[in-house]
Amino acid sequence: MRRLKKILFMLFLGGVLAMLVIFGIHAYIKKDTSSMFIKNMQDIPETTTAIVLGASVHSDGKLSPILKDRVDTAYLLYESGKVENFLLSGDHTTDDYDEVNSMKNYLLGKGVPQNKITLDHAGLDTYDSMYRSKALFDMDSAIVITQSFHLPRSLFIAKHLGLNYKGFAAKPQDYKATQQIIFREKLANIKAIWELVINAKPTTLKKRI
């Protein structure tokens, strides 16, 4: 019984330490990127490109609520003259799953000219999207559009890849993050730091998979 208590205590202590690490890293990333956030649209300097990070789409090509909020926010900046072009970065690994063309078609439906839209078909995760934005599309400065819970990690990766990016949170209209999603984002911070430490390469540096 004494040994069992000791094991349970060690497990409890390990869990507490793990949570401290997870929340500590999250706090560090938020602080490290706080100056890169732009809260008010009127404070956004005129820039060339809005990078919209992909998220899930439905089988019929319709944007999920999380992705629709991102694209709508980017379009709002375009309509307001804050950005001139879009880099849509997402997963297009197979013919029947295509985040980037779904985003493109949505913007075309709003009247955005096709020559204002560039597609990154292999932005398979946040790290890949940030890395490829410079390596393949030569983006020196841009504004990243995603939800507020996702922005710190996105900007942290961009900053430590040497990219001069700012971030603007997607306006929540159709989507509200759950606590589970927010905690999963905190776990993803660990992966981001590891990828930066080992100077990881993206899944591919080809234009398409």
The predicted-structure confidence for 172-190, as pLDDT tens digits, reads as follows 776 777 778 788 888 899 9
Contact between 205 and 132 (Cβ < 8 Å):
yes
Helix (H) and strand (E) counts in the chain: 6, 5
Residues with Cβ < 8 Å from 184, sequence gap 6 or more?
A: none
Give residue-wise pLDDT tens across range 95-140.
Answer: 889 999 999 999 999 999 999 999 999 999 999 999 999 999 998 8
Residue 141 in this model has a pLDDT that exceeds 90 = no
Range of lowest pLDDT (38-47, 113-122, 193-202):
38-47
Q: Where does the pLDDT of residue 30 fall: very low under 50, low under 70, confident under 90, or very high at 90 and above?
A: very high
Residue 1 in this model has a pLDDT that exceeds 80 = no
Residue 89: its H or E element:
strand 83-89
Residue 77 in this model has a pLDDT that exceeds 80 = yes
In sequence order, what E strands does 100-195 have? 117-120, 141-146, 164-169
Q: Where does the pLDDT of residue 31 fall: very low under 50, low under 70, confident under 90, or very high at 90 and above?
A: very high
Q: Where does the pLDDT of residue 9 fall: very low under 50, low under 70, confident under 90, or very high at 90 and above?
A: low
Q: How far is it, in rounded angstroms, from Cα 181 to Cα 155?
A: 18
Q: How far is it, in rounded angstroms, from Cα 97 to Cα 54?
A: 12
List 146's β-bridge partners, or say none.
169
